[in-house]
Amino acid sequence: MTTVQSAPTELRTFTQDWLDWYRAQEERLASPHGFLAVTGLHWLDDRPQRFPDAPGAWWTDTDGVAVTLDEEEELVVDGETVRGEHRFGVLPERGGVEAVWGDAVIEVARRGGHDIVRPRHPDAPLRTAFAGTPAYAPDPRWVVTGRYRAFDEPRPTTVGAAVEGLEHVYDAPGRIEFELDGHALSLTAFPGHGAGRLLVLFTDATSGVTTYAANRSLALDPPAADGTVVLDFNRAANLPCAYTDLATCPLPPAENRLPVAVEAGQKTPRERGGA
């Protein structure tokens, strides 16, 4: 009797946990300065340039990114108001700074070896029209246990990007081996957000059919001491490039193209013609 009652309870808990994850994903994406608020992707060089969605004239040189603001213009950087010329300095790859301009945020970042300015405005049409991301219903069958195999040394891995001609380089610490629908599979892992966490980028047989063609991502908790790691494909998430062309998202390495249909996680956004 206890077993009969516990199964529905476990499923309800599983479903609620997934809903909490899904809602958190949507809230980050559609926050006032989230990726749906991006209005431009501006590539910097040593010539000062002005953009319609940001103040000042921007450039980059050996000393990093700089801006010259007009007399009536100002930005707030790290809580300090700046006017005139301001230098952001040399930014690390995949790093960045957010400068506040009224109700907007000006993201200053480095992607693929290039410095960019990417303004984010809360009234961006993509954000104000956002109606949510389609997703498969959560199903425990898409939760699998794999084994993490660390490389002797992290392997520099070059991957393409959503922007043509751009490349990203990640130090892959290892691979994850697992079985899904009777197939022995593996995925190269990249460092995730947080100590010991991992991130995998992948495509599968649903890519370009029901899910976004270029990529999806799966964040993983640190492997256990014996190398076991849980892959919950119900939490396969779209990257920002699934919604906007103003993103520089990495593409999966070639070996992460799964030959099976992973009918779990987020689907193609409505902004890209998804159902």
Predicted confidence at residue 180, as pLDDT, reads 94
Q: What is the pLDDT of residues 149-175, one digit of tens each?
A: 999 999 999 999 999 999 999 999 999
Averaged pLDDT for residues 237-252: 97
**Residue 7 clears pLDDT 70, i.e. is over it:** no
Contacts of 179 (CB under 8 A, 6+ apart): 144, 185
Decide: 220 and 229 in contact? Cβ < 8 Å: yes
CA-based max dimension of the chain: 76
**Residue 3 clears pLDDT 80, i.e. is over it:** no
* Structure-block tokens of residue 26: 């949507």
Predicted confidence at residue 6, as pLDDT, reads 52
**Average pLDDT, whole number, for the chain?**
95
Averaged pLDDT for residues 182-196: 96
Q: What is the pLDDT of residues 245-265, one digit of tens each?
A: 999 999 999 999 999 999 999
* Structure-block tokens of residue 61: 């040189």
CA–CA separation, 197 vs 223, rounded Å?
8
Q: DSSP labels for 184-239?
A: EEEEEEEE-SSTT-EEEEEB-TTBTTTB-SS-EEEEEPPPPTTSEEEEEGGG-B--
**Residue 126 clears pLDDT 80, i.e. is over it:** yes
**Residue 111 clears pLDDT 60, i.e. is over it:** yes
**Residue 146 clears pLDDT 60, i.e. is over it:** yes
User: Exposed e or buried b for every residue in 88-101, given b needs 16+ CB within 10 A?
Assistant: beebeeeebebbbb
CA–CA separation, 215 vs 247, rounded Å?
13
**Residue 32 clears pLDDT 70, i.e. is over it:** yes
HSE-CB at 151 with a 13 A cutoff on CA atoms is 15
Predicted confidence at residue 181, as pLDDT, reads 87
Predicted confidence at residue 5, as pLDDT, reads 45
CA–CA separation, 198 vs 176, rounded Å?
10
Q: What is the pLDDT of residues 70-105, one digit of tens each?
A: 999 999 999 999 999 999 999 999 999 999 999 999
Counting residues of the chain whose pLDDT is more than 70, the rounded percentage is 97
Predicted confidence at residue 2, as pLDDT, reads 34
**Of 221 and 271, which is predicted with more confidence?**
221
- CB count within 10 Å of CB 56 equals 25
